[in-house]
């Protein structure tokens, strides 16, 4: 890539990492993003009293996030262990009363999807296998009905919306089977945050990348020729311009990519996937309290089966007044 002109679409962590590695390889990089800041879905908010901060977007770093952990090590960013007790599930039982359990929903779901889990393992987890592809067409709720799962198990499944960002009627049963095959509940893994705020990683990538960053630039169209690629963008002043490069790395999510005109068109399968791929919906509310709401509780994080979804204490290692 030495000397190549490379355009990177998107300044989230994926785009920033791509730009960083390309620049290290000698490419002349231009990064485009519609947002006015780099980091994408990772953004730390510091508009709190007592010098505290909270994560508006992506928050938890887990041990299997190998690439992200490697970047933290590269930039000497320290991690803080949080939520050591994991998430506790709050759900309504068959008798109508609420129950608390760290493991019951996942144990019940493991039993409920046991036949699918066996098929998944026999297929070696191959996403192209017929048995696995069939699971992708079946919602979690539909499978629980077909397998005559008890009402309390169906209620427990709603407590998982905080992890999968979708209700049981909307999510395929496949991600649940995959999660169980990987080791079970994601609620009991180790959780970390970057000390000082997760956006420190985005800032470190920007500082370490000798690239041209054009923020506030919306990508409208991409055109490929034999010897170049042209990207049409509109800046925050409403002006349209074209940027040329030798190559383009697109890291935008499908929900944004589907609004970009691409010529010549992508292959049908890829185009249809971009057009139809659904995303989970998440609304995050940050609340600061002058008292330690979780000080005397063993559990500091809860996944619920109601519309609240999940809530947790984000104040660990930040002092008393807690967001």
Q: pLDDT band for position 1 (50/70/90)?
A: low
Tell the residue number behind the tokens 């005559």, with chain if given: 148
Total domain count, the chain: 2
Q: Is residue 73 included in any domain, yes or no?
A: no
Q: Are residues 154 and 183 in the same domain?
A: yes
Q: pLDDT band for position 81 (50/70/90)?
A: very high
Q: Are residues 260 and 297 in the same domain?
A: no
Q: Is residue 69 included in any domain, yes or no?
A: no
- State the pairing for strand pair 301-304/88-92: parallel
Q: Are residues 20 and 133 in the same domain?
A: no
Q: Is the pLDDT of residue 113 over 90?
A: yes
Select the more confidently predicted residue: 296 or 139. 139
Q: Are residues 96 and 169 in the same domain?
A: yes
32-62 residues labelled b (16+ CB within 10 A) or e (exposed): bbbbeebbbebbbeeebeeebbbbbbbbbbe
Distance CA 25, CA 19 (A): 10
Q: Are residues 265 and 121 in the same domain?
A: no
Distance CA 2, CA 21 (A): 12
Distance CA 283, CA 310 (A): 11
Q: pLDDT band for position 321 (50/70/90)?
A: very low
CATH number for 255: 3.50.50.60
Q: What is the pLDDT of residues 53-80, one digit of tens each?
A: 999 999 999 998 999 999 999 999 999 9
Q: Are residues 105 and 139 in the same domain?
A: yes
Q: pLDDT band for position 122 (50/70/90)?
A: very high
Bin 245: left if φ > 0, else alpha if -120 < ψ < 50, else beta: beta
Q: What is the domain extent for residue 150?
A: 87-188+287-312
Q: Are residues 172 and 291 in the same domain?
A: yes
Q: Are residues 179 and 305 in the same domain?
A: yes
**Residue 208: predicted pLDDT:** 98
Q: CB-based burial of residue 148 (10 Å sphere; 0-12 exposed, 13-18 middle, 19+ buried)?
A: exposed
Q: Is residue 96 included in any domain, yes or no?
A: yes
Q: Are residues 184 and 303 in the same domain?
A: yes
**Residue 319: predicted pLDDT:** 54
Q: What is the pLDDT of residues 201-230, one digit of tens each?
A: 999 999 999 999 999 999 999 999 989 999
**Residue 34: predicted pLDDT:** 97
């Amino acid at each position: 890539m030495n000397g190549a002109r490379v355009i990177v679409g998107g300044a989230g962590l994926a785009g920033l990492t791509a730009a960083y590695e390309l620049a290290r390889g000698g490419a002349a990089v231009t990064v485009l993003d519609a947002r006015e800041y780099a980091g994408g879905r990772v953004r730390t908010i510091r508009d709190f009293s007592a010098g505290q901060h909270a994560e508006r977007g992506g928050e938890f770093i887990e041990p299997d996030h190998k690439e992200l952990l490697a970047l933290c090590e590269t930039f000497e960013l320290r991690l803080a262990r949080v939520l050591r007790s994991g998430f506790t599930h709050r759900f309504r039982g068959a008798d109508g009363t609420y129950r608390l359990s760290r493991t019951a929903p996942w144990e019940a779901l493991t039993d409920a999807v046991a036949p699918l889990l066996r098929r998944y393992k026999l297929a070696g987890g191959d996403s192209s296998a017929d048995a696995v592809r069939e699971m992708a067409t079946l919602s979690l709720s539909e499978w629980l009905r077909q397998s005559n799962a008890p009402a309390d198990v169906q209620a427990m499944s709603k407590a998982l919306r905080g992890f999968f960002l979708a209700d049981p009627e909307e999510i395929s049963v496949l991600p649940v089977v995959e999660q169980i095959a990987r080791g079970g509940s994601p609620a009991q893994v180790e959780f970390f945050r970057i000390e000082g705020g997760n956006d420190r990683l985005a800032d470190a990538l920007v500082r370490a990348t000798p690239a041209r960053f054009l923020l506030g630039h919306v990508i409208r169209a991409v055109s490929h020729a034999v010897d170049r690629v042209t990207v049409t963008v509109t800046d925050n002043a409403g002006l349209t311009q074209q940027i040329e490069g030798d190559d383009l790395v697109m890291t935008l999510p499908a929900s944004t990519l589907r609004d970009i005109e691409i010529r010549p068109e992508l292959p049908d399968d890829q185009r249809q996937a971009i057009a139809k791929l659904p995303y989970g919906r998440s609304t995050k509310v940050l609340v600061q309290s002058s008292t330690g709401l979780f000080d005397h509780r063993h559990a500091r994080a809860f996944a619920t089966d109601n519309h609240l979804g999940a809530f947790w204490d984000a104040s660990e290692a930040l002092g008393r007044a807690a967001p």
